[in-house]
Amino acid sequence: SKLTRKNLPKRAQNFSKEQLLQAMKKNKECTVKAQSIVEQCLEKDLEQNTFISSLKDINQCHYDDIVQERAILSLCGYPVCSEELKNVPKKQFQISTHSNKVYDITERKNFCSNQCFRASNYLKIQLLTS
């Protein structure tokens, strides 16, 4: 479909052509920067200070990408953890006989420990959603 002013979000409908182009350029720059941060976070020994300072430039989707990409490389999904993933279960669900519940462990399998899993989720909820 053709891009017209009616297709734009309400706040952008009154922007001039220059303002729209500038906003699109800024969006592209931010996306490139976020992608660069995602790639940096794939390193095994990521500096904690470097990671913390880069958090302002990524959102929850980028963080999910980091976790998944690290898991593909057999690294713990929590970026500041340098542990490798070992003995990753092939199953999707874990049955707890203690609590009589079935748990989906799909996300948990991306981390080396419960501590890293909880720390990662705590960090993720503090990031912007978009």
Give the start-to-end residue ranges of the domains of the chain: 15-124
pLDDT value of position 105 = 59
Task: Give the residue, 113 or 103, on which the prediction is more confident.
Answer: 113
Task: Kindly state the greatest CA–CA separation across the chain.
Answer: 62
pLDDT value of position 72 = 92
Q: Which of 94, 96, 80 is nearest to 112 (CA)?
A: 80
CATH topology of domain 15-124: 1.25.40
- The whole-angstrom separation of Cα 22 and Cα 20 is 5
Cβ-in-10-Å burial (0-12, 13-18, 19+) of 70 comes to buried
Q: In this structure, are residues 42 and 73 in contact, taking their beta carbons and an 8 Å threshold?
A: yes
When pLDDT is averaged across residues 91-115 and rounded to a whole number, the result is 78
The pTM (predicted TM-score) of the whole model is 0.75
51-89 tens-digit pLDDT: 999 999 999 999 999 999 999 999 999 999 999 998 766
Q: Dig out the tokens for 22 from the structure.
A: 């500038």
pLDDT value of position 30 = 85
